[in-house]
Each structure stands twice: as C-alpha cells, then as structure tokens.
Amino acid sequence: MQPKDRPPINRRSVERVLKANFLPRLYALADLSDIERANIIKAAIASYERSRVKLFSGAYAKPANELELELIEIVDEALNIGTIRPTKTSGKLANRKTLKDQHQAIYYSRILIETFQEVLDYDPVRNHNRPAPTLRLEDPADLDFVRELVAELKSLNSLLSQRKGRQAATSRTVASLSKHFDKFLSSYAGAMGKVTAGLTGGAIVALLYQVGVGKEVLDGLWGHLRLSK
C-alpha cells in the first residue's frame, strides 16, 4: 500500500509518455540486460513504484542495481515532462538539481553517518578485542577525510530539514559531497571488500540520486564499485 505522501502514479499516462519519448533509452537498457524489450516499460514502472513503498523499517527500498536506478530515473523524467520552464533572466531552460525525495535523502544520509561514525569511534587500544570496522584505516589523513564526510552529511541533513532558503547552500553541499564520494570510492572500494563496497556504495548512489545528482556522476561512482570486484 502506498504511504500518504506517495500517491500512486497513473500507469497508463506514464506508459504513454515512456513510449513517446523514452523507447530508445529503454530498449538500450533491455538489450544490455535479460529483460525483453516488450516488458521493459512494465519493468521500469514496477521499479519506480517499488522505490516509493515504505519497508517495515519505515525506510524506502534503494535501487537493487545500476539497471533499476536508471529505470527509476527514466520514469521520474517521464513524470516531470513539461514541468521545466524558461528562466526569466536568460530565457533558457533551467538546469538546476532537483530534489527527488527529501525523506529518502535524509534516510540514506543517516545510514552513511552511522557507518562513518563507527569508523571514527573505534579505538584500536580500547576496542582491541573486537575487529575494526571494515572501513577503518589507521592513517590520520584517511580519518580526517572521513570526519569531513560526516560533517558534510550532517550539514546536508540540516539543510534538507529546512523548509525555506536552502537551495543554494544545498547545491553547494551536494556538489562537494559528490566530489568527495568519488574520491572516497576510488580510494577505498578495493579495500572494502565486495559486500561492504556494495552496501556503502549503494547507499552513496541512492543518496546522491535522491538529491538530484546527474547520471554521469552516478555512472562514475558505479564504475568504482565495478572495478573493486
């Protein structure tokens, strides 16, 4: 059942827009996967609807893989066709990052804060009887970098929780986080192990997707994860 703040989409309307505007992109994705072309639109809509249903934990399901993320993004574009208006100053189409879901963004940000904070809180002397967190590297520079990520994530959460006056500051914070996460995954993914890299990287991609980061950046992050396998 859809939660109150996630009303059901009009499937027929979305299907018409997908057929009219997105078939080449959808067929390209189908050709690269095990989905039949005839079923790709249904798969895209199903993926989008799955991402909008709350789990028992109160969280939202993150994309299962890179393919599902792209399908969700295409449906999101289809739903927003016709909503972009020319700016008053330039007359050109606005090209601003669009926040997709504030609640999901905050959720994934909190997951990452908890993950990184566990790394910072581990004391190799006091906690020597238990294994160090997988992301823990005993290099002061690496730990400082993780502290910076935590500080930026907390700042992002604060901005997302505000009702007004957050757009410019949020955009700057998102841009900085995108660069730092790219650096983090390029440096750490190989050392994290397949499972940890997948969980951490998946949360990072899901967060950035929800705050409107573009496909090119997200593809780069997925690339770091593929190289770590």
Tens of each residue's pLDDT in the chain, 229 residues: 344 445 677 888 888 888 888 888 899 889 888 899 999 999 999 988 888 887 777 677 778 788 888 888 888 888 877 443 333 333 333 334 577 888 888 889 999 999 888 888 887 777 666 666 666 676 778 888 889 999 999 999 998 888 665 777 888 889 899 998 988 888 776 666 555 666 788 888 889 988 888 888 888 888 877 655 5
Counting Cα atoms < 13 Å in the Cβ hemisphere of 210 gives 24
Place of tokens 């730990």: 143
- DSSP, res 133: P
Domain ranges within the chain, ordered by starting residue = 11-79, 102-227
User: Is the distance from CB of 156 to CB of 211 less than 8 angstroms?
Assistant: yes
Predicted confidence at residue 109, as pLDDT, reads 92
Token readout for 43 is: 């798969």
What does the alpha-carbon distance between residue 214 and residue 187 come to, in Å, rounded to a whole number?
22
| Sign of the CA dihedral running 175, 176, 178, 183 | positive
What are the φ and ψ backbone dihedral angles of 142, each rounded to 5 degrees?
-65, -40
Q: DSSP string spanning 33-102? A: SS--GGGHHHHHHHHHHHTTSBPTTS-BPPPSSHHHHHHHHHHHHHHTTT---B-TTT-SBP-------H
Question: Do residues 100 and 213 lie in contact, with contact meaning Cβ atoms separated by under 8 Å?
Answer: no
Q: Tell me, what's the pLDDT at 42?
A: 93
Query: Alpha-carbon dihedral of residues 21, 222, 106, 171, nearest 10 degrees?
Result: -70
Nearest residue to 217 (alpha-carbon basis) of 192, 183, 188: 183
DSSP 8-state assignment for residue 6 = S
pLDDT at res. 160: 87
**CB 124 within 8 Å of CB 171:** no
Structure tokens belonging to residue 39: 């079923």
Terminal CA-to-CA distance of the chain, rounded, Å? 36
